């Protein structure tokens, strides 16, 4: 039997709300990146948009599991263990895993700045194979995700060193917090506190992305054109 998460009951509603917030933020950024791609035809914008759309859908899948379990849990339960859930919830969790990994693979591939589908398929297949053939799937999933995010973090540290802009700083910090949060989630199958900490770290990460995103909309606000 594969254990997924240990979730404290008091956090269930908050967790669900946060997942929906993460889905909304990533969806908004993805949509805007797509718009920028339409204007600029920059390949990286298209990949970034695709990566964020996948992350958004992965959070929706996770939230769907939360909604389903919320109705299933008995009132006396203090800590919920998602290891004996029905097929529906398992599909939701696996959907989240598949979409989240593919989203991160797309972002990592974007940071390579190389047009080579072989590279993309290699990273994706290695990531999936590692998770599928692992006994501890949830730990493997977060290990792979952390590794992919680590490379994204390195890329954004380089970008910040180049630009020295406040928005680049927020994006760099965002991916650092997402990396830390994802690494922390690996322990959520062992202790319920890690599930809460992981959400908090991801919240800081996505809040930083939101701040940077709003800042980039400034020319729109002031009607500046060129």
Partner 1 sequence: MAKKRSRLEVIRDILQVIKDRSGKIKPTHILYKSNLSHQMMEEYLGELISKGFIVEHRAKDVKGKTYSITEKGLTYLSKFSLISEFTESFGLG
Query: Tokens 């990533």 identify what position?
Result: 26
Q: Given the rule CB under 8 A, which of 16-24, 80-88, 198-206, 215-223 is the region that contacts partner 1?
A: 215-223
Of 28, 31, 36, 98, the one binding partner 1 (CB under 8 A) is: 36
CB count in 10 Å sphere of residue 2: 13
CA atoms within 13 A on the CB side of 154: 10
Q: Write down the least CB distance from residue 27 to partner 1, Å.
A: 15
Q: Write down the least CB distance from residue 134 to partner 1, Å.
A: 31
Q: Given the rule CB under 8 A, which of 78-86, 132-140, 156-164, 198-206 is the region that contacts partner 1?
A: 156-164
| 7 closest CA partner among 206, 204, 207, 185 | 185
Q: Given the rule CB under 8 A, which of 57-65, 122-130, 191-199, 209-217 is the region that contacts partner 1?
A: 209-217
Q: Which is nearer to partner 1, 147 or 169 (by Cβ)?
A: 169
Of 167, 193, 200, 203, the one binding partner 1 (CB under 8 A) is: 167
Q: Write down the least CB distance from residue 55 to partner 1, Å.
A: 14
| 198 closest CA partner among 87, 100, 130 | 100
User: Using an 8 Å Cβ cutoff, are 179 and 148 in contact?
Assistant: no
User: Using an 8 Å Cβ cutoff, are 36 and 109 in contact?
Assistant: no
Q: Given the rule CB under 8 A, which of 16-24, 32-40, 96-104, 119-127 is the region that contacts partner 1?
A: 32-40
207: left (phi over 0), alpha (psi -120 to 50) or beta: alpha
User: Using an 8 Å Cβ cutoff, are 96 and 141 in contact?
Assistant: no
Of 94, 143, 168, 207, the one binding partner 1 (CB under 8 A) is: 168
Cα–Cα distance, 165 to 167 (Å, whole number): 5
Residue 120 as a binder of partner 1 (CB under 8 A): the answer is no
Return the SS3 of 7: strand
Q: Write down the least CB distance from residue 42 to partner 1, Å.
A: 6
Q: Which is nearer to partner 1, 48 or 195 (by Cβ)?
A: 48
Per the structure block, which two tokens stand in for 120? 């993309």
Q: Rule CB under 8 A: which residues touch partner 1?
A: 32-33, 36, 39-42, 44-45, 48, 110-111, 155-156, 159, 163, 165, 167-168, 170-171, 212, 215-220, 224-226
């Amino acid at each position: 039997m594969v254990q997924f998460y240990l979730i404290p009951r008091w956090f269930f509603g908050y967790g669900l709300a946060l997942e929906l917030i993460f889905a909304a933020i990533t969806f908004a950024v993805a949509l805007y990146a797509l718009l920028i791609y339409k204007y600029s035809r920059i390949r990286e914008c298209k990949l970034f948009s695709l990566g964020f759309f996948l992350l958004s859908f992965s959070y929706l899948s996770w939230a769907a599991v939360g909604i389903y379990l919320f109705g299933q849990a008995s009132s006396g339960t203090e800590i919920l263990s998602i290891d004996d859930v029905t097929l529906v919830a398992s599909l939701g969790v696996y959907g989240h895993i598949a979409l989240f990994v593919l989203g991160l693979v797309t972002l990592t591939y974007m940071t390579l700045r190389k047009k080579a589908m072989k590279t993309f398929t290699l990273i994706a297949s290695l990531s999936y194979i590692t998770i599928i053939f692992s006994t501890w799937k949830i730990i493997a999933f977060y290990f792979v995700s952390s590794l992919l995010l680590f490379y994204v973090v390195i890329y954004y540290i380089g970008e910040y060193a180049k630009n020295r802009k406040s928005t680049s700083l927020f994006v760099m910090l965002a991916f650092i917090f997402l990396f830390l949060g994802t690494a922390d989630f690996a322990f959520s199958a062992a202790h319920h506190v890690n599930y809460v900490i992981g959400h908090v770290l991801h919240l800081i990460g996505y809040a930083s992305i939101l701040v940077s995103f709003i800042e980039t909309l400034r020319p729109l606000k002031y009607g500046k054109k060129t």
